[in-house]
Chain A
Amino acid sequence: MDTLIIDALRTPRGRGKASGGLATVTPVELACHPLRALKARHQFPEDSVDEVILGCVEPVGEQGGDIGRIAALIAGLGEGVPGMQINRFCSSGLDAINLAAAKIGSGQADLVIAGGVESMSRVAMGASGGAWATDPQIASALHFIPQGISGDLVATKYGFSRTDCDAVALRSQACTAQAIKEGRFERSLVPVYDPNGIELLAHDEHPRPATTADDLAALRPSFAMLGENYGFNDVARLRYPEIERIDHVHHAGNSSGVVDGAAAVLLASADGAQKHGLTARGRIVSCASVGSEPCIMLTAPAQAAEQALARAGLSVSDIDAWEINEAFAAVVLRFCQELGLDLDQVNRCGGAIALGHPLGATGAMIFGTALDELERTGGRYACVALCVGAGQGTATVIERCS
């Protein structure tokens, strides 16, 4: 049974600090914005949604306690609408969609909203703790290193220089600027208002279109100190003994930005769409999640994409639009290297380096970007992929409805 994509909306991404445009918005309220917008646009009745699934990576404090259900209630979807929160780190937003597709595809739901939320300005990265990094037995057994050092390890192992990585960043800024200029995000952007109706943020706040190569070259590596002074480089070399030294190529300018944001995607079965008079923009063709070596952590997306393509009976050349989350520049480079893609084939509207990476929401956001891009370019298939903490990758293949 096909899972139809009805619509995909997102909030703008606000800078993830107290002065950011969305910092005064509670996570539940942030999550409610795209939910309410979907309801307003598509006019599905109260209690008609079978499930709300929201990805959230730090589900504690005000983001805790099943934000999926609470947001569904506060957004006014109806008391009869169940909700859940899921977490697979950075791919949570896409995994929410894949889970929804599994429910719809197996006939267990007809109308599902999947998406994600992360208010990084309010609930800091790492707030939910976890045994992986801080349980000595586990951290030792898994060779835990902070993700940025994993990014540097990817660059070192696969031969990407600081210049290569800075080029990815520069391109992300340029593509983002172009996309904004052409209004490519307008269809999916949902402005965020305060409770009194005052607009807080209508456009993405993180891009720095004026960035030059020299600006980037001047930035100091972000993870050198952490790696060199606190033993993490040595831990990485226990797992990768062939590497003499880790080249710390990533910095604030070629890594994903810390931002606030939420996204929601309306998915339906054919019956569900018909029942509520919804028009499909696309369909979900296949998806895959894979695990990979957890220390280097970030190398699974290509494998996930290949697996999703194989499930769909498609090949790399069938894909017209690629979205690979720009967690770190080296992740994009490694993805292209593995799949034999040119950099110009991926992320043509920019990515998380320019726009920011609201952890739990990003997967759903770039899913929407892929759909918009297929429509803009008249392409047929798109593939969305993200690298994930602890060595995982998730990918989804979609097809535009002509």
Chain B
Amino acid sequence: MIRLERYDAIAHLVLDMPDRGANVWNQESLDAVGQCIADYASDEALKGLVIRSAKSSFLAGGDLEQIEAIATGGRSAEELHARGGELAELLRRIETCGKPVVAAINGAALGGGYELCLACHHRVMADHPRAQVGLPETQLGLIPAGGGTQRLPRLVGVQTALGVLMEGKSFPAAKALKMGLVDQLCPPDQLIETAERWLADSPVSIQPWDQKGFKVPGGDMEGSAKNTMMVATAMFQAKTYGNYPAGTAILSCIAEGLRLPIDAAFEVEKRYFVSLLLDPVAGAMVRTLFLDLEAAKKGARRPKSVGDLPLDCIGVIGAGLMGGGIALEAARKGLEVIIIDRSVEEASKAHAYVQRFFDRRIKRRRATQEECDAVKARIKPSADYADLKTAQLVIEAVFEDRATKAKVSSAAERHTTDDAVIASNTSTLPITGLAEAVDKPEQFIGLHFFSPVERMALVEIIRGEKTDERTLALALDLVARLGKVPVVVNDARGFFTSRVFGTYITEGVGMLTEGIAPALIEQAGRMSGMPMPPLALADEVGLALMHQVGEQTKADLGDAYQANAATPVLNQLVVEAKRIGKSGGAGFYDYPSDGDKHLWTGLNERFELAADQPKVEHLIQRFLTTQALESVRCVEQGVMIEAADIDYAAIMGWGFAPYTGGPLTMIDNEGLPEFVARCDQLAARYGERFTPPQLLRDLAQSGQSLRG
């Protein structure tokens, strides 16, 4: 529990919340710390206070579940305002208690945890890799609400404070000291002693900002901070397209707050904090990107019936980009990897892949050649399937061809142990069909990694018709071991990610046929919050590839095939203009060797510009809506094991506009009846792809939501 321990004239406020791995701010801790501070302040025998943690971290910040509940609880502005200042008020009592208080930072002090440190008169930090400080609230769509936006710029200056607040990164001890985020470092085992020595030697019990004549270091809003703020505002807008109110709120807290005495400045901070709680972005981001995502990473979809499974060695077939990437990631996480290709030489390309990855990091001094060699040593290149005998799971990452995949899967099954799992890294071929190539289809599964493997967080796990629970559990174990995020789906054409993600490109490419200016299409894509605009993305994926997939689908489906909005455009570019995308140096963009890529001017000749151009907001809506509708269709058609997984998977998988909290949350926040009505309008104008699925109509009718 949180308690005050007395050692003669010195007291320790010990942060030690019961039944929790880490200390957090919630009602319980607010009350307990408040009581300790009151006891310290009123006890005349006590001359100094050390605030320390009994856990491996100091204090991890706010209780996310509580924050999510507050942010999505439909509370009124008055209610939020009345309660929004609790932490700030408590911290203010600490720094104005009249006696010195020192923070002994042993581990992570993040968010409200670091704000507690900021309210102390001195900050001592253990020089330990685990110890870090930071204010990550912006990543949740929030801002610090315990005075952090006010104390930090007053402590370290506006420029440094912006660097900490805007990105939400954490800083290790040495960096924190250099930036002035803490006052002193010491060896971990001397933390308390060092803190107590400060109390004995040179205690201060008043904050700089409470002293007369205080000046903001580096210039205030009448000085250099004015220009800093102007540029920071523009750069933030440029980076986020106005989709993230939290960043602008931080800027405003500083710009407005620094002109005020600190108590009035806290009011400004609270006002912006409340405005963010009233905005759907924060609640959406907390739920999807923290609660849902954490649950997924911790194995929420792992079958409960399956116990721990051994996993220390995997096989990878095919040493191309995907195979090499998977081998790299597995070996980096300590797994033994056997990589098979036509020859040992071919298979050894995985080593080259690892070396290339490490070269970049070694150059930036973020890794050493020894680490690289250790990773390579865990990857064994081979041309002999018999070497797979020690692998508990084998992933084939060979050419996207049914016969080739069948051949290697079958070979892998023959050379592995009875309980080994065979996985296919296919992005398009149905898993149930591929499973026919092996004798034990129940031990066959899809593991759809994205390229480049080392950078893409999501892995789509595709359960074939016969895939059993043990197989699914082992696949999830591997994904967890790689530190990646799993999403489990059923077998269907395009699975989930490719299918939904494809609608974004189709929509953007199709807009050309409506005479919409290419630059407007692209900017609408960026402004929608997608990581890349649709035409540029199409160039990256490859126009020839997209065209070919279309042709293949046409051949597969016969009469059932329906051309989509992008088909005529791809025909024109690929067939007529011979522009195959970025790999060919020409697609929707030109790629001059001596400059930045720019939109191909020939587009304006082939697709005559409409006299009336739509508003960008309309295009943004179309981009997000088409993806959201396809997501709901996936739910309706049973593609998802769990509908709610769509939200985090869309964001982690292809960067679906994170501020929305994912496609389903986005629809819920708009309101189902409103969304359905809007889709009907879009469908009337642009066609069936915008027709809302029946599931959506039914839910709207019965007043339900997608996420509940």
A sample of 13 inter-chain contacts (CB < 8 A) reads A134-B227, A136-B229, A136-B252, A139-B230, A139-B233, A139-B234, A140-B248, A143-B237, A234-B237, A234-B239, A241-B520, A241-B616, A244-B518
Q: Which of A129, A134, A135, A231 contacts B239 (CB 8 A)?
A: A231
Please tell me if the beta carbons of B226 and A136 are within 8 angstroms of each other in the complex: no
Please tell me if the beta carbons of A136 and B255 are within 8 angstroms of each other in the complex: yes
Given the known interface contacts A134-B230, A136-B248, A137-B248, the answer about A243 and B519 at a Cβ–Cβ threshold of 8 Å is yes
Whether a CB of chain A sits under 8 angstroms from the CB of B613 is yes
Bound together, the chains give a CA A139 to CA B248 distance in angstroms of 10
Q: Which of B227, B234, B599, B613 contacts A235 (CB 8 A)?
A: B234
Q: Which of A134, A140, A245 contacts B237 (CB 8 A)?
A: A140
Interface residues on B, range: 20 to 34
> Nearest A residue to B227 by beta-carbon distance?
A134
Whether a CB of chain A sits under 8 angstroms from the CB of B524 is yes
B578: chain A residues at CB < 8 Å are: none
Whether a CB of chain A sits under 8 angstroms from the CB of B74 is no
Given the known interface contacts A129-B226, A140-B237, A242-B520, the answer about A230 and B598 at a Cβ–Cβ threshold of 8 Å is no
Could you give, for residues 224-236 of chain B, a 1 whenever the CB lies within 8 Å of some chain A CB and a 0 otherwise? 0011011111111
Given the known interface contacts A136-B233, A241-B527, A242-B523, the answer about A235 and B248 at a Cβ–Cβ threshold of 8 Å is no
Q: Which of A129, A140, A244 contacts B242 (CB 8 A)?
A: A140
Please tell me if the beta carbons of B234 and A237 are within 8 angstroms of each other in the complex: no
Bound together, the chains give a CA A156 to CA B236 distance in angstroms of 24
Bound together, the chains give a CA A228 to CA B236 distance in angstroms of 14
B16: chain A residues at CB < 8 Å are: none
B517: chain A residues at CB < 8 Å are: 242
Please tell me if the beta carbons of A144 and B234 are within 8 angstroms of each other in the complex: yes
Interface residues on A, range: 20 to 34
Q: Which of A129, A136, A244 contacts B598 (CB 8 A)?
A: A244
Whether a CB of chain B sits under 8 angstroms from the CB of A1 is no
Q: Which of B222, B234, B524, B613 contacts A232 (CB 8 A)?
A: B234
Whether a CB of chain B sits under 8 angstroms from the CB of A238 is yes
A231: chain B residues at CB < 8 Å are: 231, 234-239
A133: chain B residues at CB < 8 Å are: 230
B232: chain A residues at CB < 8 Å are: 136
Whether a CB of chain B sits under 8 angstroms from the CB of A382 is no
B191: chain A residues at CB < 8 Å are: none
> Nearest A residue to B619 by beta-carbon distance?
A241
Q: Which of B222-279 contact A (CB under 8 A)?
A: 222, 226-227, 229-239, 241-242, 248, 251-252, 255-256
Closest 7 CB pairs of A and B: A234-B238, A231-B238, A136-B251, A241-B523, A231-B235, A244-B519, A231-B234
Please tell me if the beta carbons of B599 and A140 are within 8 angstroms of each other in the complex: no
Please tell me if the beta carbons of A242 and B234 are within 8 angstroms of each other in the complex: no
Q: Which of B558-613 contact A (CB under 8 A)?
A: 598-599, 613
> Nearest B residue to A242 by beta-carbon distance?
B520
Given the known interface contacts A231-B239, A241-B524, the answer about A134 and B234 at a Cβ–Cβ threshold of 8 Å is no
> Nearest B residue to A139 by beta-carbon distance?
B233
Q: Which of B226, B255, B523 contacts A237 (CB 8 A)?
A: B523
| A288 CB → nearest B CB, Å | 29
Bound together, the chains give a CA A231 to CA B522 distance in angstroms of 18
Contacts beyond the supplied A136-B255, A241-B519: 14 A-B pairs with Cβ under 8 Å: A134-B221, A136-B248, A136-B252, A139-B234, A140-B248, A143-B237, A230-B234, A231-B238, A237-B523, A241-B523, A241-B527, A242-B517, A242-B523, A244-B522
B239: chain A residues at CB < 8 Å are: 231, 234
Could you give, for residues 478-522 of chain B, a 1 whenever the CB lies within 8 Å of some chain A CB and a 0 otherwise? 000000000000000000000000000000000000000111101
Please tell me if the beta carbons of B237 and A238 are within 8 angstroms of each other in the complex: yes
Could you give, for residues 392-432 of chain B, a 1 whenever the CB lies within 8 Å of some chain A CB and a 0 otherwise? 00000000000000000000000000000000000000000
Whether a CB of chain B sits under 8 angstroms from the CB of A349 is no
Could you give, for residues 184-200 of chain B, a 1 whenever the CB lies within 8 Å of some chain A CB and a 0 otherwise? 00000000000000000
Q: Which of A236-251 contact B (CB under 8 A)?
A: 237-238, 241-245
Q: Which of A333-357 contact B (CB under 8 A)?
A: none
**Max count, chain A CB within 10 A of own CB: residue among B232, B233, B235:** B233
> Nearest B residue to A227 by beta-carbon distance?
B234
A245: chain B residues at CB < 8 Å are: 598
Bound together, the chains give a CA A135 to CA B251 distance in angstroms of 8
Whether a CB of chain B sits under 8 angstroms from the CB of A145 is yes
B229: chain A residues at CB < 8 Å are: 134, 136
Please tell me if the beta carbons of B524 and A134 are within 8 angstroms of each other in the complex: no
| B347 CB → nearest A CB, Å | 45
Bound together, the chains give a CA A244 to CA B239 distance in angstroms of 16
B519: chain A residues at CB < 8 Å are: 241-244
| B159 CB → nearest A CB, Å | 14
Bound together, the chains give a CA A86 to CA B517 distance in angstroms of 43
B251: chain A residues at CB < 8 Å are: 136
**Residues on A facing B (Cβ under 8 Å):** 129, 133-137, 139-140, 143-145, 230-235, 237-238, 241-245
Please tell me if the beta carbons of B520 and A235 are within 8 angstroms of each other in the complex: no
**Max count, chain B CB within 10 A of own CB: residue among A145, A233, A234, A243:** A234
Please tell me if the beta carbons of B613 and A242 are within 8 angstroms of each other in the complex: yes
Bound together, the chains give a CA A243 to CA B236 distance in angstroms of 20
> Nearest B residue to A135 by beta-carbon distance?
B255
| A353 CB → nearest B CB, Å | 26
Please tell me if the beta carbons of A235 and B238 are within 8 angstroms of each other in the complex: yes
A139: chain B residues at CB < 8 Å are: 230, 233-234
| B609 CB → nearest A CB, Å | 10
Bound together, the chains give a CA A133 to CA B234 distance in angstroms of 9
B518: chain A residues at CB < 8 Å are: 244
B227: chain A residues at CB < 8 Å are: 134
Please tell me if the beta carbons of A244 and B599 are within 8 angstroms of each other in the complex: yes
A244: chain B residues at CB < 8 Å are: 518-519, 522, 598-599
B252: chain A residues at CB < 8 Å are: 135-137
Bound together, the chains give a CA A304 to CA B652 distance in angstroms of 51
Bound together, the chains give a CA A140 to CA B248 distance in angstroms of 8
A235: chain B residues at CB < 8 Å are: 234, 237-238
Please tell me if the beta carbons of A230 and B235 are within 8 angstroms of each other in the complex: yes
| B685 CB → nearest A CB, Å | 20
| B324 CB → nearest A CB, Å | 36
B613: chain A residues at CB < 8 Å are: 242
Bound together, the chains give a CA A234 to CA B231 distance in angstroms of 12
> Nearest B residue to A145 by beta-carbon distance?
B234
Please tell me if the beta carbons of B598 and A238 are within 8 angstroms of each other in the complex: no
| B478 CB → nearest A CB, Å | 40
| B134 CB → nearest A CB, Å | 22
Please tell me if the beta carbons of A134 and B255 are within 8 angstroms of each other in the complex: yes
B598: chain A residues at CB < 8 Å are: 244-245
Given the known interface contacts A230-B234, A238-B241, the answer about A134 and B520 at a Cβ–Cβ threshold of 8 Å is no
A134: chain B residues at CB < 8 Å are: 221, 226-227, 229-230, 233, 255
B524: chain A residues at CB < 8 Å are: 241
**Max count, chain A CB within 10 A of own CB: residue among B234, B239, B517, B522:** B234
B241: chain A residues at CB < 8 Å are: 238
| A393 CB → nearest B CB, Å | 24
| B666 CB → nearest A CB, Å | 21
> Nearest A residue to B599 by beta-carbon distance?
A244
Q: Which of B193-228 contact A (CB under 8 A)?
A: 221-222, 226-227
Please tell me if the beta carbons of A238 and B527 are within 8 angstroms of each other in the complex: yes
| B239 CB → nearest A CB, Å | 7
| A149 CB → nearest B CB, Å | 10
B233: chain A residues at CB < 8 Å are: 134, 136, 139-140, 144
A243: chain B residues at CB < 8 Å are: 519
> Nearest B residue to A133 by beta-carbon distance?
B230
B226: chain A residues at CB < 8 Å are: 129, 134
B221: chain A residues at CB < 8 Å are: 134
Bound together, the chains give a CA A235 to CA B240 distance in angstroms of 10
> Nearest A residue to B241 by beta-carbon distance?
A238
| A131 CB → nearest B CB, Å | 9
| A282 CB → nearest B CB, Å | 42
Bound together, the chains give a CA A231 to CA B598 distance in angstroms of 19
| B101 CB → nearest A CB, Å | 32
